A and B are shown apart, each in its own frame.
Chain A
Amino acid sequence: DSGVTQTPKHLITATGQRVTLRCSPRSGDLSVYWYQQSLDQGLQFLIQYYNGEERAKGNILERFSAQQFPDLHSELNLSSLELGDSALYFCASSVRLAGGVNEQFFGPGTRLTVL
């Protein structure tokens, strides 16, 4: 158990809908990262938050947004869903922003299926 929790574990929805994925980082971790893993693909970085502020963006679509709340939990919002958005979405957390020994610890993921 990495200490990172994600809810829900599974999500099935229809095209055009909007969903919210939730992540609680490990206790004491200030950085939260979101990654997407599509079928047979590696993990793609989406976005990073540090202590409530957005710090880096990767391959995140404009239909997707995220935020980190004062209690450090984070939400990833996916809107106008398309079939191609079906994927595993992972959240990871780490203590610091960058530098040094700073491994990221991953949650169990949310499997999103868009029908």
Chain B
Amino acid sequence: DQQVKQNSPSLSVQEGRISILNCDYTNSMFDYFLWYKKYPAEGPTFLISISSIKDKNEDGRFTVFLNKSAKHLSLHIVPSQPGDSAVYFCAASAYNAGNMLTFGGGTRLMVKP
């Protein structure tokens, strides 16, 4: 049973436009959510996070939105740049579960010049 799902395996966006990556979760105990970016042959790089007490967190071009009632979060990248092309993973953790991360399957973002 996948507790964290990224239903879009890939997304193609034009440079300068908005990229929206989506993530759904089923475990209501999750209280902290993170997005990681991964390039081939490298480890995941932390991008942005959000606590369940918030519904939005912004860091430069990256904004994460959390809808707890829908158990849904999204990552917005504005404006998208070719260097953003990578695989994006959303992850979730629960305070009483030792901070281990449960990852989604990833979405491959391609930003075309």
Which residues of A does B touch, CB under 8 Å? 2, 4, 6, 31, 33, 35, 41-45, 48, 50, 55-56, 58, 90, 92, 94, 96-99, 101-109
Q: A97 with B43: in contact, given A42-B105, A103-B49 (CB under 8 Å)?
A: no
Query: B99, A94: Cβ atoms under 8 Å?
Result: yes
Report the minimum CB–CB distance from A96 to chain B (whole Å). Answer: 7
> How long is the Cα–Cα vector from A42 to B36 in the complex, in angstroms?
12
Which of B42, B51, B95, B104 contacts A108 (CB under 8 A)?
B42
Query: B89, A42: Cβ atoms under 8 Å?
Result: yes
**Which residues of chain A are within 8 angstroms of B89 by Cβ–Cβ distance?**
42-43
Give the total of B residues in contact with A, Cβ under 8 Å: 26
Q: How many A-B residue pairs have CB under 8 A?
A: 74
Task: Verify if B103 is at the interface (C-beta below 8 Å from A).
Answer: yes
Which of B45, B51, B98 contacts A106 (CB under 8 A)?
B45
Query: B98, A43: Cβ atoms under 8 Å?
Result: no
Which of A90, A98, A105 contacts B98 (CB under 8 A)?
A98
> How long is the Cα–Cα vector from A105 to B101 in the complex, in angstroms?
11
Report the minimum CB–CB distance from B98 to chain A (whole Å). Answer: 4
Identify the interface centre among B43, B51, B91, B104: most chain A CB within 10 Å of its CB.
B43
Report the minimum CB–CB distance from A10 to chain B (whole Å). Answer: 10
Query: B98, A103: Cβ atoms under 8 Å?
Result: no
Which of B44, B99, B102 contacts A102 (CB under 8 A)?
B99
Report the minimum CB–CB distance from A14 to chain B (whole Å). Answer: 24
Task: Verify if B96 is at the interface (C-beta below 8 Å from A).
Answer: yes
Task: Give 7 new A-B contacts, CB below 8 A, not counting A44-B103, A105-B46.
Answer: A45-B101, A90-B44, A94-B99, A98-B95, A98-B99, A104-B34, A106-B44
**Which residues of chain B are within 8 angstroms of A44 by Cβ–Cβ distance?**
103
Query: B46, A103: Cβ atoms under 8 Å?
Result: yes
> How long is the Cα–Cα vector from A2 to B38 in the complex, in angstroms?
13
Can you list 27 A-B contacts with CB-CB less than 8 angstroms, sorted by A residue number?
A31-B99, A33-B101, A41-B105, A42-B89, A42-B103, A43-B101, A45-B100, A45-B101, A45-B102, A45-B103, A50-B98, A56-B100, A90-B44, A92-B101, A98-B95, A98-B96, A101-B49, A101-B51, A102-B99, A103-B34, A103-B46, A104-B99, A105-B46, A106-B36, A106-B43, A106-B45, A109-B43
